[in-house]
Amino acid sequence: MNPKSYSPIALTEDQDRLLREYAAMLFDVNKQFNLISREDTDHILERHIGHCLFLAERGVMDGARIVDWGSGGGLPAIPLAIVWPSTQIVAVDSNGKKTMSIELFCRRLGIKNCKAHHGRAEETEGSFQYSVSRATASLVNLWDWHHRVASPASDEIPSSHWENGLICLKGGDLREEVQTMNKKYEGLETTIEPLISLGKDAFFQTKSIVHIKKKAPVT
């Protein structure tokens, strides 16, 4: 069996090692702080870390600033920081025990490009090209938070990279969430990509990547 089969993207040996060390730490700390569902602790690599790595199937620009809304125990912030080492990621959560856990994980793993911020999403300051999230809130709330801190869109982004905006992992039927968001905000373009490549695990059957960006102005 491929030792990296939990990941939908290619990993270096060092990335694989760091992700496995993170999974072990997450398992241990979860006994105290309940960072992830207790029912899923036997599937941390596949259903949590592997799930987050779908976001990295496309790249981001070097030096990009990324904010993770409701990061919990560092998902997806820490896996993305490991596979996107040239980025700067801020993991936001209103639960102080969770942000302390993120700081602990990053310190022990030697991750320098991910910082935790204890606070509410609505009050977070900064300027970011990308927002990410994993089933944290409704699309309209996620776009509210992204829209407030979004930096001007980058020019000439390669087709292999995500365009600036919100990239999140969601489950279920999203039509009502998209409609609600579009009623509040005009000029958005939403792409929904089902996660079908890990179809052997029923966990992924109803899950998708959602990418939301501002439409390019008509010239």
pLDDT in tens, 73-107: 999 999 999 999 999 999 999 999 999 999 999 99
Whether 52 has a pLDDT exceeding 70, the answer reads yes
Position 199 in a domain: no
Position 114 in a domain: yes
Position 40 in a domain: yes
* 135-176 per-position pLDDT tens digit: 889 999 999 999 999 998 877 899 999 999 999 999 999 999
Whether 113 has a pLDDT exceeding 90, the answer reads yes
Cα torsion 199, 200, 204, 209 to 10°: value is -40
Query: Region 185-208: what's the mean pLDDT?
Result: 84
For the chain, the three-class secondary structure string (H helix, E strand, C coil) is CCCCCCCCCCCCHHHHHHHHHHHHHHHHHHHHHCCCCHHHHHHHHHHHHHHHHHHHHCECCCCCEEEEECCCCCCCHHHHHHHCCCCEEEEEECCHHHHHHHHHHHHHHCCCCEEEEECCHHHCCCCECEEEEECCCCHHHHHHHHHHHECCCCCCCCCCECCCEEEEEEECCCHHHHHHHHHHCCCEEEEEEECCCCCCCHHHCCEEEEEEEECCCCC
Position 218 in a domain: no
Position 124 in a domain: yes
Whether 41 has a pLDDT exceeding 70, the answer reads no
At residue 54 the predicted structure's pLDDT band, cuts being 50, 70 and 90, is very high
Are residues 8 and 197 in contact, defined by beta-carbon separation less than 8 angstroms?
Answer: yes
Position 45 in a domain: yes
Of 156 and 211, the structure prediction assigns the larger pLDDT to 211
At residue 32 the predicted structure's pLDDT band, cuts being 50, 70 and 90, is confident
Give how many domains the chain has, as a whole number: 1
At residue 217 the predicted structure's pLDDT band, cuts being 50, 70 and 90, is confident
Range of the domain at 33: 13-166
Position 195 in a domain: no
Position 84 in a domain: yes
**CATH number where 126 lies:** 3.40.50.150
